[in-house]
């Protein structure tokens, strides 16, 4: 076999067989943590900060949350794309495209329904991009990596968050082809992991310092939109600039977050702290939709059109996350899949998949 043929075959080997990758569940769970804190800003009417607590919460969300967690979530979708097709090809060497297409068509339908309640939701776009990206599964990993990096760079320069989705998904696919999961599963060399962590930490410090210099001294509006014929205020302009920087630097900060998780997981205390995120990540679809159900329900039943504060929205989002983590861990003691994950799997394989565990152990 020629070297090029060998490389192509190697990049499509299934990621670590059929075993469950718990660190990947932790990554998904971690990505879910930050989503409601940002999504609530589009679902609720949040007043411009008028207290110190609201002011600093707005700063914290812009610096550490906005465009950080969705980057991880999107990248992991691309990695999951690779995993599904490579594992389905393990039996006869050919990926089961019919199953994957059916899986994404179901996700399109879920996304369409979800968009009726949350206009900024991502599942619909993930599914469409996933369908369009199928030909790239057979492309050389260098091509996928190059297109992903170049495309994301263009999207970052433009500052168009939605445009980053296809390229983050393509980078996730390329990461699978480059055997990133094997490297993590087999244990990154501590020296290499520390180097990644230190470099991403330094980069994150530079990013936060830059955003600090750009941020205005006065509070910024909570929801960014331009009114035709009305010039934006200095605070609005600064808010747009911060959002632009956040989109462009999302992957760098995300690498710092994920490398920190891997460093933490190597300690006994850290492993215990991160363990609850496994069940949370395994029920990611249920929890992502559930966050919208909670936020929209509270908005319609309690808040209506009344404006609220960053303090209230943050506390509610924190309460939702805590509740979901507890509920997910209790659920996964007895069931193999989350409720929506089970329905999704049944639709994908067009059969009733057993959901109950044989033993009550996670």
Segment 95-151, tens digit of pLDDT: 788 899 999 999 999 999 999 988 878 899 999 999 999 999 999 999 999 999 999
Residue given tokens 């192509």 in the structure block: 8
Query: Is residue 360 domain-resident?
Result: no
Segment 15-46, tens digit of pLDDT: 444 556 788 899 999 999 999 999 998 889 89
Query: Is residue 359 domain-resident?
Result: no
* Mean of per-residue pLDDT scores for the chain: 87
DSSP 204-267: HHHHHHHHHHHS-SSPPPSS----TTSPPPHHHHHHHHHHHHHHHHHHHHHHHHHHHHHHHHTS
- For the chain, percent of residues with pLDDT exceeding 70: 89
- Range 195-223 average pLDDT: 90
Query: Is residue 227 domain-resident?
Result: no
Distance CA 156, CA 87 (A): 32
Segment 151-185, tens digit of pLDDT: 999 998 888 888 999 999 999 999 999 988 888 87
The pLDDT of residue 227 is 43
Please, what is the end-to-end C-alpha distance for the chain in angstroms?
43
Query: Is residue 354 domain-resident?
Result: no
What is the per-residue burial (b if ≥16 Cβ within 10 Å, else e) of 14-37?
A: bbbeeeeebbbbbbbbbbbbbbbb
- Domain span holding position 190: 3-222+232-349
Overall number of domains in the chain = 1
Is residue 101 within 8 Å of residue 131, measured between CB atoms?
yes
Residue 230 has pLDDT above 60, yes or no: no
Q: Which of 5, 25, 32 is nearest to 317 (CA)?
A: 32
CA dihedral 87, 91, 93, 94 (to 10 degrees): -70
Dihedral (CA of 31, 32, 33, 38) sign: positive
Is residue 57 within 8 Å of residue 47, measured between CB atoms?
no
Angle at which helices 141-158 and 234-265 cross, to 10°:
150
Query: Is residue 325 domain-resident?
Result: yes
Segment 323-336, tens digit of pLDDT: 999 999 999 999 99
Residue 13 has pLDDT above 80, yes or no: no
CB atoms within 10 A of CB 232: 15
Residue 48 has pLDDT above 70, yes or no: yes
Residue 283 has pLDDT above 50, yes or no: yes
Query: Is residue 295 domain-resident?
Result: yes
Residue 228 has pLDDT above 60, yes or no: no
Query: Is residue 361 domain-resident?
Result: no
In this structure, what DSSP letter does residue 119 have?
T
Q: Report residue 32 as tokens.
A: 């879910």
Query: Is residue 274 domain-resident?
Result: yes
Distance CA 14, CA 353 (A): 22
Residue 231 has pLDDT above 70, yes or no: no
Bridge partners, 335 (sequence order):
356
Residue 10 has pLDDT above 60, yes or no: no
Q: For residue 25, how many C-alpha atoms fall within 13 Å in the half-sphere facing its CB?
A: 21
Backbone φ and ψ for 308, nearest 5 degrees, come out as -130, -175
Distance CA 212, CA 68 (A): 16
Q: Which of 153, 147, 165 is nearest to 70 (CA)?
A: 165
Question: pTM for the complete prediction?
Answer: 0.87
């Amino acid at each position: 076999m020629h070297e090029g043929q060998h490389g192509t075959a190697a990049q499509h080997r299934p990621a670590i067989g059929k075993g469950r990758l718990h660190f990947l569940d932790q990554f998904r769970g971690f990505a879910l943590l930050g989503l409601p804190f940002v999504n609530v800003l589009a679902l609720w009417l949040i007043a411009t900060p008028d207290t110190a607590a609201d002011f600093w919460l707005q700063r914290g969300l812009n610096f550490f949350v906005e465009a950080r967690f969705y980057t991880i979530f999107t990248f992991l979708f691309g990695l999951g794309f690779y995993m599904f097709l490579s594992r389905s090809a393990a039996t006869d060497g050919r990926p089961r495209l019919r199953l994957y297409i059916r899986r994404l068509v179901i996700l399109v339908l879920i996304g369409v329904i979800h968009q009726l309640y949350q206009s900024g939701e991502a599942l619909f776009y993930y599914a469409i991009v996933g369908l369009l990206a199928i030909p790239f599964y057979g492309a050389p990993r260098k091509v996928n990596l190059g297109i992903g990096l170049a495309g994301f760079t263009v999207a970052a320069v433009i500052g168009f968050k939605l445009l980053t989705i296809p390229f983050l998904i393509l980078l996730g696919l390329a990461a699978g082809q480059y055997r990133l999961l094997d490297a993590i599963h087999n244990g990154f060399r501590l020296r290499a992991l520390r180097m990644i962590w230190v470099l991403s930490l330094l980069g994150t410090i530079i990013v936060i310092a830059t955003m600090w210099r750009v941020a205005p001294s006065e509070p910024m509006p909570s929801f960014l939109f331009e009114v035709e014929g009305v010039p934006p205020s200095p605070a609005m302009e600064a808010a747009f600039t911060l959002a632009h920087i956040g989109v462009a630097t999302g992957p760098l900060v995300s690498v710092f977050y994920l490398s920190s998780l891997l460093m933490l997981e190597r300690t006994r205390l850290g492993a215990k702290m991160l363990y609850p995120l496994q069940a949370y990540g395994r029920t990611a679809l249920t929890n992502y939709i559930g966050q919208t159900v909670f936020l929209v329900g509270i908005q319609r039943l309690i808040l209506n059109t009344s404006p609220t504060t960053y303090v209230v929205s943050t506390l509610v989002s924190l309460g939702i996350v805590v509740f979901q983590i507890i509920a997910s861990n209790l659920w996964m003691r007895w069931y193999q899949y989350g409720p929506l994950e089970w329905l999704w799997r049944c639709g994908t394989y067009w059969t009733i998949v057993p959901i109950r565990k044989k033993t009550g152990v996670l």
